[in-house]
Structure 1
Amino acid sequence: MHEFPLIAPRPPRLSKLTEALRSIEARGVYSNGGPVVREFESRAVAELFGGQGAALAVNNATIGLILAIRQAAEGRRGKYALIPSFTFAATAHAAIWAGLTPILIDSAPTDWAASAEAEEAMLARHAGEIAVLVPYDTFGTCTDLARYARLSEQHGVGVVVDGAASLGSIDAAGRGFGTGAPFAAVFSMHATKTFATAEGGLIYSADAERIDALRRMHNFGFGLPRSATEPGTNAKLPEVLGLLALAKLDEIDAVAEHRAALDRAYRACLGDAVTLQATSAVRQVAQFMPMLLPRGIDRAAVIAELAGKGIGSGHYFAPHLAQQPYFQRESLLYPTPVADDLAARMLSLPVTDAMTEADVATVCGALHAALRKPHIVVPAPQPRILSTVLVGGGPAGIAFLISASKRGKLRELGAGLAVIERGPSLGAGQLPNYAITSDSTAETFLSAVKDNPEPGIAALIDHPAAREIARYAGKLGVPLHRTGPFLEAMGQRVGAILAESGGRVHTGHEVLDSRRTAAGLWQTRIRDLASGAQHELLSENIVLATGGYQSASDIAAATVAGAQLGEQAGERLMLCDDMLRTGGMERLRARIAHSRAPRIAIIGASTSAIASAVLLLKSDIPFGAESLSLLHREALRPWYPNAEAAHADGFTDFGPDDICPLSGFVYRLAGFRLEARELVLRMLRIGGRTPDPRVRLHRLAGPDSNAARILAEADVIVAALGYRPHALPLLDAAGQRIALAAHAPGRPRLADQLCRVSDAEGQPLPGAYGIGLAAGFVPEGRLGGEKSFKGKANGLWQWQNDVGQLIVDQLLGQAVSLAA
């Protein structure tokens, strides 16, 4: 039986290079950029890159990547390297060794290179934070380098091309891949590559000064004789390996042409049986023949079938980087549905120097036979009744799951759970889209993972995104736009545990409605936002973590100072949610552009109201004395850790009903914290503090001519009058919509004190629960909280602990735990 190994290294034979070896021995120069290596560099530029630019030979491509990434990041303030997850481990390792944190993104479904859409999205999301783009030229397809030159110019980022398998490829313009690129392209000369030596790498750039800088770095950073002037290491290619590289250069055209012919034979023979990679290369220096198996095929069985006929095969790159434990810990992860699919279906078949086109036909025949075997088809999973469908995988939904993990119940809960999330990933939701500071401390965010019983979640305490949150420990909250990577890392880890436990995660899906069946189940219709396809999930329970919103019509109808707010404000009315989001200040500035001395009125006594004031005061808007007015009905109350601390600070406006009997906190639920608290303390002159002269407080009480005057004089009126719950359409068995408490006017509650979704009569709906912003839960009894509190309690810590646990216990059929 003829054997066809997947990889059959064929570097030049040293035994045929004895005269050249004797010359090296005679010269006595074995490294340090000797004449053989210098000749190889010069000839490589002339023969592979049309004589443009310069090249540097290094001892291996991974070290070359480290040098090139470090050099490209010099002088840039970013801390991230943007890398496709579908690549080899060396790419991300190199970024980490160069001092950057990888951001792993998805691939394009055609050529399997980094997704242009994902790159653009990350450059926008992490504007100013990305130092270097590291695209991988997947299997030598000659990716579009002109686009990366444009991205570099537009976004001020460095670029390093990982062209590990591409040395000798010819692009669509008929040039060697990389020719003319102003950034570095790094190629491998490992024995397994088409440009096979024993070990080594080549860095090319059209920018000769860049290569000069890298040459200094690869020689200990010696910019002066025997004196380091910049970062450096020892990355020099020895003369003996340079000799192999020169010999391979002599034969690379013949080797590449032969492999290109094998590639064409594979494509002609396989037809539509598999999915082949799109390529823009005129000549692709194939290391092996990559392809995607049809969905539902058992790849392990195919590989076994081929092995039984002496045919080697593999699956580069499966698992991809985001599926590997180390990079899960050390990188920022974003959804990779295409890379997941590539890794699940990838099969690599032999392309070697010794093969013939007849051999390709033999291999293809064996693959066709393996694909026809019925036993390798994986049956579609049978529908099952889930325990729970969680609608919403944002901060509240993941906090609910974190509460389960803290009690060691996440896997038990996850075995019958499906999570439906509109966004592309779990964890962050809309939170990073706000331009304000959190009203939860950094310590609260980190408490979700610190000492978590789930090792994978606990390990996130050392994740780069967690270290970013920890920078704000002991400070007045965390900028919300900084929380996204941490929340998404947590969502990714929780989602992985759910999948391991038998649960399902449906990102990029929306829930249309959920119907109560005659059998007492919930039949939930979901839709794939990308394809529009719909299907249904049956579950015993549903949990709504759908967040809240501000109703423009409700706010316009609210009575303020004896008249409807909409009638008084007209087009000057602005919802605080619109102002607090990213870009909100720009929208507000456009409204006041006509005014040299702008006046703004904020209506409300909520955290959002005070956050609006803080954001405005921190801006560069030229507010004059008392030009920012805060109109509020409720008294403004600061939080204190205990009564003694309040009295010591000179705050006495509280009584026994304002103290939480469990914690001893003064105004535990009603009190402002962090940045909002600091402003309130100043405005109330507590402890001798001096008010900000730009702000005035006005307490509303019925018809109020002063309030009406303030509103009439304001250029913009910011309404911070609370949030309504997003109430998912819930239907009865007859298909009629159930009237919910959440549909009532004003600021209604979604759920009762056991987090059960309530109908319009206040009766709980069996198996329906709610958590999160505007859900309306108010701690009481053994959960603590001051007796005087009448509003809604919304807090990350509560969701991650007792409030979430209330739901978990009910879902698992256990007695409700009210331990705080």
Structure 2
Amino acid sequence: MKRLPLITPHPPRLSTLTEGLARIEESGIYSNNGPVLRAFEADATTRLFGGRGACLAVANATLGLMISLRDAVSDGPAGRFALMPAITFAATAQAAWWAGLTPLVCDVDADNWSAAADEEERLLERYGAQIAAVVPYATFGYGIDLDRYRWLSKRFGVAVVVDAAASLGTTDASGLGFGAGAPFPVVFSMHATKPFATQEGGLIHCADPDRIERLRAMANFGFTAPRTATLPGLNAKMPEVMALVAKARLDDFAEVAGHRDQLADAYRHAIAGRYTAQPRPTGRQALGFFPLLLPSERTHERDAIIARLGEEGIGAGKYFSPHLGEQPWVHEIAQIEPTPVADMVGSRLLSLPLSDTMTVEDVAHVVDTLDRIVAIKARPRVAAPPPIAETMIIGGGPAGTAMLTAASRHGLLPELSRGLVLVERDQAIGGGQLGRYAITSDSTAQTFLSAIEGNPDPAIAALADHPATLAIARHRASLGVPLAEVGPMLRAIGDRLHASVTANGGTVLTGTEALHARRKEGLWHVRLRDTATHRDTERVARNLVIATGGHQPLDRLVTQRVAGTSLMEIAGDRLVQSDSVLARGGFEMVADLLSSKRAPRVAVIGGSTSALTTVALLLRERPALPFGAGGITLLHRSPLRPFYHSVEAAHAEGFTDFGPNDICPVSGFVYRLAGFRLEARELVLRMLGVDGRAPEPRVALHRVTGDDDLAARNVLAEADLVIAALGYRPRALPLEEADGRPLGLAAHGGAPMVDDACRVRDRSGAPIPGLYGIGLAAGFVPHGKLGGEASFVGQANGLWLWQNDVGMMIVDQLLAGRARAAA
């Protein structure tokens, strides 16, 4: 049986280059930009890049990135970030760090797996001059749009350095090499594993010959004159022997590249309709291996699939998984944005062999073997119309998947999955929007870890050693967990839940938006839209669970009154909502708004956790804002109460402001639901002076007493910035009656969306059959065996509740209803 390793290095043989080696020995020039290297650079410029610009050969591509980045930012603004995509090799981040920059990792495009254009532009808008350079990666040799990066560079005044490590050999439709004539450095690898294989080496191309010569000096210790360093530098020179090998590869590269392109076409033809690959390029894509995505329901089997392929003599891998944002070292030094698409792509990537010595028949053998292992038929059958689903969950974020986690903790997920459809707008389930917030949770690390520890589902329990889980575990002794680190773990759990649901007969529709649902004859007809193709379909379900989260609607600010006055009228353009402040970049936004104020004054309105968390964020972020005494005023109506684990613990600190109705009869906790926890609790304890704590001098509390509270109005009128932390309202799915009339909900009038059994209520407050709600702003209040103090007024939210009692409350009703129908 012919073995097909994943990577088969096939550089020119030194044994065939003896004449050239002899000439190098005779010349006595082995490095320092010798004649062989110069000849190769000139030849590469002509043959690969149509004679445009110039090229510099270096010892390896990582060094090429390092000097290119260092040069790009040396005379630019004092930004600290290098913006780069999550799907790339670790060297991209390493090079930025060695150049003195902090990697800023963003999500990728679901189609071609390169940096997502909207994410790049969003971050450039948010961080502004803090971003010194953009480092796009031409993913797996795919020819990204460099004209767009010219535009970004001009629009935002940001440097660009292209990581094209895998792209030497990629061309446009006319045959011109990728990067030809680019005004910024485009850095290629000539490592032995690349299509343009030498043994080691890199090539930098740029339209500006002067920049190439400056980089040449930087690659030679920064010498611009003999032994005179005038630039930052290091030793990145390519030796003459490697330049000789590179010249030999250039001579036969057209044939090598053509053969690899035939193999890539054979792969695309063989997998059509069964696996996802990058779009077919208009020209040629240099490929060192062939990457594809496994079907989502096979994600958790990837390692086993790779092992099975290996047993049959076929090498396979999972470049790049873990992706850049999941690398432990990168986690420590980088700023990582939410990356749901990269998480999905990275979890499903499978790399298959593509080498100079393979044949088209070998490709067919690889795909046939993969099909057999994955158990996918070569020609998929036309699917029958989908049956009526037992349950459809709208929303696969933390709340929607928490319900599935609750079922898994009780061994009921396989039963629940039968006839289940989960609809999620993002490309992966689990993480939702948590990762976009720059704050710590009001839950402990153990709360998040409890979903994994002791879970009877072995696939979920195995996440105990996952890098995202270990990152959470490091915060066991902390006041909460950074939400940016919670997202990756929830997405990892989401991947396992996705696999389990599909393996047990359910369906997970990612990249799908629910537009509305119509109630007809006891069934829910849900209109769905594929976010990639914009194609609409309809699915029918007996039960519907709304888990679409909450938001802070702008229209509420128009009608909101504080201390008897219109909030909009008194605050005007000084008014922002807490959600935008707590999001990543929110503190920077506040700092910009207050930059002209020597002693800024901020008013925060609300007595919720988001209000206290907003105050805590403004106090602790760096660089610190110049708040003087009482610079932040918290306007609240209800008393601020700290949480205690017991009456004894409260009394031990001298806190006695509670009565019997404030104690949970189940747990014995004081202010179990109304009390602030973790970071917010510490701030409340300080402000109340509990147990001798010194109040925070920069914060003043003002309890609004009524419509005639003139002092509250003065605080709002004199504040430089007013932050409304007025809570969240449900982002409810539009519902209709059979005749198309809107189905009115209690939530539309400002009442809680659900009753004490998580059933969605109509305008009269009556539960709507077959309709449930869970998650932020659903309005659920624990009761009975769930505990909670009798004095509590409001709603309770929390991942632990959703993953346990609240989630199981819905699961039990769904399964009981199914049992009744079967009887």
TM over 0.5: yes
Alpha-carbon distance in structure 2 between the residues aligned to 1:625 and 1:102: 35
Deviation, structure 1 residue 458: 4.5
Matched, 1:727 2:732: yes
Counterparts of 1:594 and 1:96 in 2: how far apart (Å)? 35
C-alpha distance in 2 between matches for 1:405 and 1:538: 25
Partner of 2:389: 386
The 1:73/1:435 distance shift into structure 2, 3 A limit, reads same
Q: Is the 8 A contact 2:260 2:355 kept in 1?
A: no
Offset of residue 44 of structure 1 = 1.6
Q: Where in structure 1 are there 5+ consecutive unaligned residues?
A: 1-5, 58-63, 86-90, 217-222, 224-228, 296-315, 360-373
- When residues 689 and 192 of structure 1 are mapped into structure 2, their CA distance, relative to the original with a 3 A threshold, is closer
Residue matched to 2:523: 521
**Could you list the per-position Cα deviations for residues 373-398 of structure 1 after superposition, in whole angstroms to 9, with x for gaps in the alignment?**
x9946423531222221112233223
SS of match in other structure, 1:789:
coil
The Cα shift of 1:442 comes to 3.8
Shift of 1:543: 1.0
- Which residue number corresponds to residue 39 of structure 2? 43
Cα deviation, residue 278, structure 1: 3.8
Code of the aligned partner of 2:667: S
Does the 8 A contact of 2:340 with 2:431 survive in 1?
Answer: no
Distance 1:734 1:160, change over 3 A: closer
2:302 maps to which residue? Answer: none
Confirm or deny that 1:652 pairs with 2:652: no
Q: Report whether the alignment pairs 1:609 with 2:611.
A: yes
Shift of the alpha carbon at 1:683? 2.1
Could you say if the C-alpha distance between residues 673 and 615 of structure 1 is closer, same or farther in structure 2, counting changes exceeding 3 Å?
same
**In 2: Cα distance, 1:646 partner to 1:734 partner:** 57
Task: Give the whole-Å Cα distance in 2 for the aligned partners of 1:382 and 1:532.
Answer: 19
Cα pair 2:397 2:432 within 8 Å, conserved = yes
Q: Which has the larger radius of gyration?
A: 1
Alignment check: 8 A CA contact 2:647 2:670 kept:
yes
Corresponding residue SS for 2:816: coil
**Structure 1 position 741 matched with structure 2 position 767:** no
Aligned equivalent of 1:770: 773
Contact 1:751–1:770, Cα closer than 8 Å, also in 2:
yes
Contact 1:425 1:491 in 2 (8 A): yes
2:581: which partner in 1?
580
Whether 1:802 and 2:805 are equivalent positions in the alignment is yes
Shift of 1:651: 0.5
Task: Give the equivalent residue in structure 2 for 1:403.
Answer: 406
Tell me the matched-pair count: 731
Alpha-carbon shift at residue 639 of structure 1 (Å)? 0.7
Amino acid in the other structure paired with 1:768: L
Cα distance in 2 between the residues matched to 1:232 and 1:411 = 59
Counterpart mapping for 1:340-739 below 5 A: 376=379, 378-423=381-426, 425-450=428-453, 452-458=455-461, 460=463, 462-466=465-469, 469-470=472-473, 472-480=475-483, 483-518=486-521, 520-529=522-531, 531-550=533-552, 561=563, 563=564, 565=566, 569=570, 571=572, 574=575, 576-577=577-578, 580-582=581-583, 601-618=603-620, 625-626=629-630, 628-702=632-706, 704-707=708-711, 710=714, 713-715=717-719, 718-739=723-744
Identity %: 40
| Gaps in structure 2 of 5+ consecutive residues | 1-5, 47-52, 206-210, 222-226, 296-313, 329-337, 362-376
The aligned runs of 1:771-786 (5 Å cut-off) are: 771-786=774-789
Which residue identity does 1:636 align to in structure 2?
L
Q: Could you tell me how far 1:756 is from its partner in structure 2?
A: 1.6
1:462, CA displacement in angstroms? 4.9
Pair 498,41 (structure 1): closer, same or farther in 2 beyond 3 Å: farther
The whole-number CA distance in structure 2 between the counterparts of 1:668 and 1:389 is 32
Deviation at 1:129, TM superposition (A): 9.2
Shift of 1:133: 3.3
Does structure 2 retain, via aligned residues, the 8 Å contact 1:601–1:628?
yes
Relative to structure 2, which stretch is displaced further, 68-77 or 690-699?
Answer: 68-77
SS at match of 1:540: strand
Counterpart in 2 of 1:304?
none
**Counterpart of 1:144?**
146
The amino acid that maps onto 1:516 is R
**Mapped partners of 1:708, 1:401: distance in 2:** 45
**1:298 paired residue number:** none
**Contact kept in structure 1, 2:82 and 2:134, CA below 8 Å:** yes
Contact 1:142 1:171 in 2 (8 A): no
Partners of 2:747 and 2:389 lie apart in 1 by: 26
- 1:711 to 1:414, Cα distance in 2 relative to 1, 3 A: same
1:771 CA displacement? 0.8
Say if 1:10 and 1:353, in contact at 8 Å, map to a contact too: no
Q: C-alpha separation between the residues in 1 aligned to 2:438 and 2:216?
A: 42
| Cα distance change, pair 13–159 in 1 and its aligned pair in 2 (3 A) | closer
- The residue identity in structure 2 corresponding to 1:640 is Y
Looking at structure 2, the residues matched to 37 and 711 of structure 1 have their Cα atoms a distance apart, in angstroms, of 69
Q: Distance in 2 between matches of 1:53 and 1:793?
A: 62
Any conservation in 2 of the 1:259–1:285 contact (CA below 8 Å)? no
Residue range with higher mean Cα deviation, 618-627 or 640-649: 618-627
Distance 1:165 1:621 in 2: 46
**Take 1:543 and 1:136, find their aligned partners in 2: how far apart are those partners?**
41
Cα distance change, pair 231–429 in 1 and its aligned pair in 2 (3 A): farther
Structure 1 residue 532 displacement after superposition: 4.0
Read off the aligned partner of 1:738 and give its amino acid letter.
L
Question: Structure 2 residue aligned with 1:92, among 86, 89, 93?
Answer: 89
- Aligned-pair CA distance for 1:669: 0.8
- Secondary structure in structure 2 of the residue aligned to 1:682: helix
The alpha-carbon distance between structure 1 residues 395 and 621, as it changes in their structure 2 partners (threshold 3 A), is same
Q: Measure the CA separation in 2 of the matches of 1:476 and 1:447.
A: 17
Task: Please say if residues 565 and 707 of structure 2, whose CA atoms lie closer than 8 Å, have aligned partners that are also in contact.
Answer: no
Offset of 1:637 from its aligned partner? 0.9
> Contact (CA 8 Å) 1:437, 1:479: kept in 2 or not?
yes
